[in-house]
Structure 1
Amino acid sequence: MDGVTTAGVRATARIAARADGRGATALPVLDGEGPIALRRTRGHGDEARVMLVGAMSGPLGNDRLAVEATVAEGARLHVGSAAATIALPGQAKGEAHYDVRLRVAGGGELHWLPEQLISAAGSDLRVASDVALEPGARLVFREEQVLGRVGERPGRLTSRLTVRLGGRTLLDQEVSCGPGAPGGWDGPAVLGGHRALGQLLIVRPEFAEAPPPARPLGEYAAVHPLAGPAVLVSALAPDALRLRRILDEALGSFD
C-alpha cells in the first residue's frame, strides 16, 4: 500500500490471469492492498474466480484506490465482490478516486461482475473504468450505481467508462449525479427520479458477424448494439434489487 495520510489512502490491488497449460487458469499475481483484499474462490471448469473483499471502509474523502486485472491469451477470469462498495464522506476533505484498469488479450475472457457502488450522502467520488481489449477478447462488464442509502440523499458521483478494442475506442461515456453535478441530472431526460442506474457491456467476436438487434427491455432499459463486436445494455430502476434483476435477465438472454 502506498500509505495512509491526512490526504487519504493510496492503494492498488492487482490480478493477473494466464492459462496454466493444463486446461485451467492460473493466477500468478493476486495482490490485494489497503481497503481491497483479494480472495481466490472455487472456479468453474477452466475459469478462475476472484472475490474483492473490503478490508475497511471506503472509498472515503480523498482516497485514491485502484484495481488492475490482466487476462492473458487462453485464460478465463471471473471477478466479483463480497458486498456493495459504499462511498462515504470520511474525515479528509476532497474528491475520492476509484480506478478500474482491465486488460484482456485476444483469446482471453473476463467477467467483471462486482456488487453495487452506493453513493452515500456527503460523499464525493470519481470512478474511472479503463478497459483495453485485443481483437478476439471476450468481456462481460457490469456496472451498477445506487444514489444514496435508504432514506438519504445521494453524494456526488462521477463515473467514466472507456473501452478500447484493438486500440480503437469502442465506448467512452461519463455520467455525473448528485449535489454539484450539472443541472438536470435528476430530470426526465436523464434519471427521471430513479436512484439506481446500471449498464452491462458484452464483447464477443461473433457479434461482428451477427450483432444483436437494438430493443427495449421494459420502460427504462434497452439494448444498444455498438460499432464493433459489442452490445451495451443500459438501465434505470427505483432500487438496486430491481436493477440487478433487469441486468441479469439481459445477460441471460445472450447465453
Structure 2
Amino acid sequence: MTGGGRPSVAARAAVVAAPGGALPVLRGEGPLALRRTRSADPAFAQVTLVGAMSAPLTGDRLELTVDVLAGAALRITSAAATLALPGRVPEPAEYRVTLRVADEATLDWAPEPLISAAGSALRQHTRVELAPTARLALREILVLGRDGEEPGRLASRLTVHRDGRPLLDQELRCGDWAPGWDGGAVLGGHRAVGQLLCVDPELAKAPAEPQRLGAGAVTVPLAGPATLTSAVAPDALELHRLLAAAGTGGSYSW
C-alpha cells in the first residue's frame, strides 16, 4: 500500500511568536499548513498545524522551525494525528522540528499523536533550545500501528539544550530497525508511548519528587529545573489520560 501514489515532497514551515500575541512569521509549504486559531488562554497565541496532504510518506523531507521571542507565549497544536505512510520510494522520510524559546518566553508544544502505519519508515528529530528563563511544556505521543496492524519503522529523537547545556537527549526506535523494541525491556507489548517534558525555572526552588502515575507512567526530575513524565499504554486514549494526570499534578501551571 502506498500513500496515494504521489511523489515525495520537501517542505518547510516557520513560526515566530512575539509579545502581545503577535505572529510576525507564519508560513508553511505543502503538507505543513499553519493556521492561527483561538486560544482558551488569552495570554497565549495559538497556532494549529493542519495537514494539507498525506504526510510524511517515505522519501518526504519536512522541516518546521519555531521561534518564541523574549516575553512571548505560544501554544502549538495540530488539527489531527500525523500518519506516517509508505510512499513510492524506499528511503525513510525525515521530519525535523526545531524549537527555540527565548528568555521569559513560554512554549506549549502539544500536537496530536504520530501514528506509524505498516510499511512506513520515518526518522523524526525534535531539537529544543531554551534560554535560562524560558518555560516549556512538550508533549509527544507515538502510536505504533493502526488497529490490527504492525507498525512501520520509526526512529524518534528528542534533544533539549538549556542555556547552551544538554538537558535531555533520548531516542526510541521501533520496527525492524530495533530488534527487541516490543519486549519487556522497552515497550512490553504496548502500542502507545509518550512523554511530557516540563521546564520551568520555578522548579529550581522546589525540585519535584519522583512519582508513579499508575502502572504505565512515572514522573522524574531532571538535572535542571525540569521534570520528565514517560508513559506506555495500550492505546492513545489511555496515554492521553496518563500525561494529562502528570500535567494537572503540578508539573506545569500555565
Pick the TM interval, shorter chain.
over 0.9
Indicate the residue corresponding to 1:196 in structure 2: 192
Unaligned ranges ≥5, structure 1: 1-5
Equivalent AA in structure 2 for residue 75 of structure 1? A
The reply to whether residue 120 of structure 1 matches residue 107 of structure 2 is: no
Residue 130 of structure 1 and its aligned partner are, at CA, apart by 0.1
Please, which of 221, 225, 228 is the counterpart of residue 224 of structure 2?
A: 228
Which one is further off, 208-217 or 234-243?
208-217
Q: Name 2:15's counterpart in structure 1.
A: 15
- Inter-partner Cα distance in structure 2 for 1:18 and 1:186: 43
Q: C-alpha distance in 2, partners of 1:192/1:123? A: 22
TM alignment of 1:176-255, pairs within 5 A = 176-181=173-178, 183-254=179-250, 255=253
3-state SS of 2:38 partner: strand
Q: 1:14 offset after TM fit, Å?
A: 0.3
Superposition deviation, residue 78 in structure 1: 0.3
Distance 2:177 2:46 in 1: 38
Residue 90 (structure 1) aligned with residue 87 (structure 2): yes
- Quick one: distance in 2 between partners of 1:9 and 1:228? 39
Deviation at 1:8, TM superposition (A): 2.0
Structure 1 runs of 4+ aligned residues shifted over 6 Å read none
Distance (whole Å) between structure 2 residues aligned to residue 72 and residue 202 of structure 1: 19
Distance in 2 (alpha carbons) for counterparts of 1:145 and 1:186: 14
- 1:67: how far off? 1.1
Q: Give matches, 1:14-163, under 5 Å.
A: 14-19=14-19, 24-43=20-39, 44-163=41-160
In structure 1, the residue matched to 2:166 is 169
Distance 1:239 1:42 in 2: 29
Q: How far has the Cα of 1:7 moved from its partner?
A: 7.1
Of 44-53 and 192-201, more deviation after overlay is shown by 44-53
Describe the superposition over 1:80-120 as per-residue Cα deviations: whole angstroms up to 9, x where unpaired: 00000000001122110111100000100000000000000
2:72–2:104 Cα contact (<8 Å) kept? yes
Paired positions, count: 245
Structure-2 separation of matches of 1:67 and 1:238: 29
Paired residue secondary structure (1:94): coil
Structure 2 residue identity aligned to 1:72: L
What is the CA–CA distance in structure 2 between the aligned matches of 1:237 and 1:46, rounded to whole Å?
Answer: 33
State the distance in 1 between where 2:31 and 2:18 align: 25
Counterpart of 1:169, as a letter, is P
Residue in structure 2 matched with residue 3 of structure 1 by the alignment: none
- Distance (whole Å) between structure 2 residues aligned to residue 66 and residue 51 of structure 1: 16
Aligned equivalents of 2:153, 2:31: Cα separation in 1: 21
Q: CA deviation at 1:144?
A: 0.3
Q: Once the two structures are superposed, what CA deviation does each residue of 1:33-72 show, in whole Å capped at 9, x if it has no partner?
A: 1101000011322210000000000100110101110001
DSSP-derived class of the 1:248 partner: helix
Structure 1 residue identity aligned to 2:167: L
Distance 1:97 1:7 in 2: 15
TM-score between both structures, scaled by the size of structure 1: 0.94
Structure 1 residue 73: deviation in Å?
0.8
The separation in 1 between residues aligned to 2:33 and 2:162, in whole angstroms, is: 29
Residue pair 2:81, 2:113 contacting (<8 A) in 1 also: yes
Unaligned runs of 5+ in 2: 1-5
